[in-house]
């Protein structure tokens, strides 16, 4: 099984493809260099396979490479960051 995570700026989300098929996404609201993550969804047939974690990990890596920051309003993204403190430096508090 191969994963590919790509940003879809037109839809304000990062999408994960599994073997070429759209398996899920994490949606955000753009606020300059900050992305406010609001919702993460994985299609039922891809749940419990690590797809959500792979999606969020790759998304956060891409945000870091772009010099961006995040506001994890989405419970899934927030929980992922709490379990992986190496991404805590990306979090900003909304004003």
Q: Is the pTM of the predicted complex or chain greater than 0.85? A: yes
Percentage above 70 pLDDT, the chain: 98
* DSSP one-letter string for 5-55: EEEEGGGTEEEEEETTEEEEEEEEEEETTEEEEEEEEE-GGGTTTTHHHHH
Q: Identify the CATH number of the domain defined by range 3-90.
A: 3.40.630.30
**What are the residue boundaries of the structural domains of the chain, listed by start?**
3-90
Tokens of 8: 């879809």
pLDDT beyond 80 at 94: no
* Cβ atoms of 16 and 43 closer than 8 Å: no
């Amino acid at each position: 099984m191969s994963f590919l995570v790509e940003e879809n700026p037109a839809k304000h989300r990062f999408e994960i493809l599994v073997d070429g098929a759209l398996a899920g996404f994490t949606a955000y609201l753009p606020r300059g260099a900050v992305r406010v993550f609001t919702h993460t969804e994985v299609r039922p047939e891809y749940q419990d396979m690590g797809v959500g974690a792979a999606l969020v990990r790759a998304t956060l890596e891409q945000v870091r490479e772009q010099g961006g920051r995040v506001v994890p309003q989405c419970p899934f993204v927030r929980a992922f960051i709490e379990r992986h403190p190496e991404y805590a430096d990306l979090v900003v508090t909304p004003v």
